[in-house]
Chain A
């Protein structure tokens, strides 16, 4: 026989009383709703995969794996391949990661290793966070009217004098890989910096004290003790920053030139999966929509793998330092 555990409390004349039947019902309903909402995230993810898969199905069955290594995107002939876009996505993201990574990690060191007064560090941190707050299209606009004219003379000089180097083998005629990668680097810098700052903060203060106690200079302590200790957290920052770069759309659609070609040159126009979607989707119809859905699935797959890898590394770091299960 079920008994109400609060029965005696209710009869003893205190301010407490047992929950009424109505309150217990509300409780069950409320918890039910919360459960549904939590499940919603799982359902939403599944639904995204299902919908994209469903819409892309005709293209998947028609083009199969050839879609991944095809190099033409021609609506009139009905030939679709995304290798140039995959190349452009990976190449621009890698370049951005190289630059954004160096800058992001340096800034994390700058902010956490007593280079400036703590109050100034807060100001500087806010500046870096604001970099993340500026919308992608605004960076695109800035890239078109400020960055491209600014780097053009330098690019021309490099092309004229070092044209034999594959990276400088073409002229920068306007949009291209270099401005796109530069803007992308600016956009992932806050992500890399923020996660790296966390990685440095997580190192116990004693570790630094011990290094200084051995007579190291500040940079010996940073390079030989702090960086190796924070390395897994920094790796997570880099991988998650890479994931961010892969999916970035608008700034790239405005700056990369949307040309389906595979070229090592930094100044040649290229294309990425996300900007292919952005530039082709609004006017697409019929089979092209299906092909674009397939391209979206390819992008989803690549970013999913990179993000899961980044999260796994981050989880590992947290466990290492906090002993959390």
Chain B
């Protein structure tokens, strides 16, 4: 047995460590610096968008929101040193070709989505189709133009149909994937209830699945349209360009104007007037794209 040594110094009293974060501690400084950098990066990232919008409004807005708005929207593009002029044929061309692309891609896209989401969800075909649709969304848009050139243009020449088909090739995968997601979100119970009533699969799809999934499908379609309207690469050598209004929908040798190609052509010209029109066309194009983007958000919201 050992005696307790009474002469030993008493154990130091327990000192409560300071657990509070110190503002000048290394870790805290590092934390604050990184937070600052993140804020700067976030603000920097917004600058291009703001700059683009300001330039569009300043350079394009003066023509579009001025007294000559009717001329700008309806007149033919000016030649060389000519003043005035407008972007009428290009607006018509863009709208016509996007409409053609929509009419082609949406029915096929929604039917394919129905197969992928309901009829053959786990089948081998669905697996391949879904994968290829995803690959195609990352597909360079100019290759759609090259493809249509090889199929149509070599044989029949430039036409709004060739341009529309090239846009449809780009829209299809977007529509398919968005519609599949919307359709897959329809609750299984609703489908089961319909099946329980003796519906065939077609009736379930037409009367339950499509009406329920419609907002989601429409969102996908609107986004696909917005994307197609802004595309230019696939139109370069399928629709080409024209200085005149589209007179017929003839599928043979019928070059068609579009806003994006007009911007591309006019951007490199040495004339003040053309460059100003390129900005005006950009503003119109961005407004068209924006309208469809906003529509996409509006139709996608559940009804209050």
Neighbouring B residues of A17 by C-beta, 8 Å: 198
Verify if A60 is at the interface (C-beta below 8 Å from B): no
Q: Is the CB of B286 within 8 A of A134?
A: yes
- B147 is an interface residue with CB less than 8 A from chain A: yes
Q: Is the CB of A137 within 8 A of B38?
A: no
Stretch at the interface among B184-192, B213-221, B263-271: B263-271
Binding site for B on A (CB under 8 A): 6, 9, 15-19, 23-24, 26-27, 30-31, 33-42, 44-45, 47-48, 51-52, 54-55, 102-103, 106-107, 109-110, 115, 124, 127-128, 130-131, 133-142, 144-146, 186, 189, 217-220, 240, 243-244, 246-250, 253-254, 274, 277-278, 281-282, 292-293, 296, 299-300, 303-304, 307-308, 310-311
- A141→B278 contact, CB < 8 A: yes
Is the Cβ of B264 less than 8 Å from the Cβ of A27? no
A-B contact pairs, 29 of them (CB 8 A): A16-B197, A17-B198, A19-B199, A27-B203, A30-B202, A30-B205, A41-B132, A52-B147, A54-B150, A107-B45, A110-B39, A135-B231, A137-B232, A138-B56, A138-B230, A139-B52, A140-B263, A141-B279, A217-B30, A247-B140, A247-B141, A249-B233, A253-B264, A254-B268, A278-B236, A293-B150, A300-B140, A300-B143, A307-B134
B290, CB-defined interface residue at 8 Å: yes
When distances are taken between beta carbons in the complex, the residues of chain B under 8 Å from A6 are 198
Contact B293 A133 (CB under 8 A): yes
* Chain A binding surface, main DSSP class: helix
B282 touches A137 (CB 8 A): yes
Q: Number of B interface residues, CB 8 Å? A: 90
Query: Which DSSP category, helix, strand, loop or mixed, fits chain B's interface?
Result: helix
B162 at the interface (CB under 8 A from A): no
The 4 nearest A-B residue pairs measured at CB? A247-B140, A135-B230, A37-B111, A38-B115
A190 nearest CB neighbor, chain B only? B45
| Contact status B134-A299, CB under 8 Å | no
Residue of A with least CB distance to B136: A45
Verify B111–A33 contact, CB threshold 8 A: yes
User: Within the complex, which residue of A18, A40, A246 is in contact with B198, where a contact is CB–CB below 8 Å?
Assistant: A18
Would A103 and B45 count as touching, CB distance under 8 A? yes
Instruction: For the complex formed, measure the closest distance between the CB of B227 and the CB atoms of chain A, giving whole angstroms.
Output: 8
Cβ–Cβ < 8 Å partners of A254 in chain B? 264, 267-268
Binding-face segment, B1-9, B64-72, B74-82, B168-176? B168-176
- Is B246 on the interface with A (CB-CB < 8 A)? no
Whether the pair A307, B138 counts as a contact (CB closer than 8 A) is yes
B195-252 CB contacts (< 8 Å) to partner A:
196-203, 205, 226, 229-233, 236-237, 240
Interface residues of B in 146-185 (CB under 8 A from A): 146-147, 149-151, 154, 169, 172-173, 176
Q: A130-B49, A146-B55, A278-B236 known; A137 and B146 CB under 8 Å? A: no
Check B48 for interface membership: any CB of A closer than 8 A.
yes
B135 lies within 8 A of chain A by Cβ: yes
Contact, CB under 8 Å: B151 / A51:
yes
Please indicate the chain A residues that have their CB under 8 angstroms from the CB of B115 in the complex.
Answer: 34-35, 37-38
Given contacts A9-B198, A107-B42, A282-B240, contact A48 B111 (CB under 8 A): no
Using Cβ atoms and an 8 Å threshold, which residues of chain A touch B55?
A: 142, 145-146
**For residue A48, which residues in chain B have a CB less than 8 angstroms away from its CB?**
143, 147, 169
Residues of A within 8 Å of B30, CB to CB, are: 217, 219
Please tell me which one of the listed residues B120, B132, B198, B286 contacts residue A35 in the complex, with CB atoms under 8 A apart.
B120
- Asked if B112 contacts A34 (CB within 8 A), the reply is yes
For residue B278, which residues in chain A have a CB less than 8 angstroms away from its CB? 141
CA distance A45 to B143 in the complex (A): 12
